[in-house]
Chains A and B, each alone.
Chain A
């Protein structure tokens, strides 16, 4: 399985500001994803981070609010823009390990964001 790290692990931000979250993988992976977990809720897919092209967003998520970059096969960033208290969540990146041809997905440790 891949080793996935995220920075920062947690942050407290003021409303109206932006935060960029980094996701680093120790090996090249084809697929990287970003999820959001609101307090007490399940995980929801935000977007697929595509290397060399624009991210693919799920219904309810837009590029202006959650711009994503993926400059290479081991790194991606998610920015949460113009934050409001409703953006307080855990943000997780994930990758498909492709071990043995399976689609098993592995998650980073998450970034716990609080917006005041």
Chain B
């Protein structure tokens, strides 16, 4: 099955810093989503981005499907950005079955 790897596994930032999170996947995908899991366990949808670039406030994401990776950019980080960021993909044969990456744990300190 498709493999999803995220890097870095852990990231510690001071408030105001920028960061880039990476998601590599091993096969063609029809679905790619980025989620933020807050400290209470809630999964928050950030981007649905099987290809191309999107921006939402301080966050933006780019997926290069032909090279099998996606990047999540966080600018001017805030303490509320802390939590775990997951990339999840679905291959072209199982469009609804999301396979989650291992996650990036982000801690932002004031």
Do chains A and B stick together as partners?
yes
Interface size on B, residues (CB 8 A): 21
Q: Which listed residue, B41, B96, B99, touches A103 by the CB 8 Å rule?
A: B96
Q: How far is the CA of A89 from the CA of B98 in the complex (A)?
A: 18
- Decide if A42 touches B41 in the complex (CB within 8 Å): no
Q: Is B25 an interface residue (CB 8 A)?
A: no
Q: Which listed residue, B42, B48, B99, B100, touches A104 by the CB 8 Å rule?
A: B48
Q: How far is the CA of A48 from the CA of B97 in the complex (A)?
A: 8
- Decide if B96 touches A105 in the complex (CB within 8 Å): yes
- Write the chain B residue with the least CB distance to A95: B96
Q: Hey, which chain B residues are within 8 Å of A96, CB to CB? A: 96
Q: Is A1 an interface residue (CB 8 A)?
A: yes
Q: Which label, helix, strand, loop or mixed, suits the secondary structure of the A interface?
A: strand
Q: Which listed residue, B48, B88, B100, B101, touches A102 by the CB 8 Å rule?
A: B48
Q: Is A43 an interface residue (CB 8 A)?
A: yes
Q: Is A78 an interface residue (CB 8 A)?
A: no
- Decide if A42 touches B103 in the complex (CB within 8 Å): yes
- Decide if B90 touches A103 in the complex (CB within 8 Å): yes
Q: Hey, which chain A residues are within 8 Å of B101, CB to CB? A: 42
Q: Report B's interface with A, CB cutoff 8 A.
A: 30-31, 33, 35, 41-43, 45, 48, 86, 88, 90, 95-103
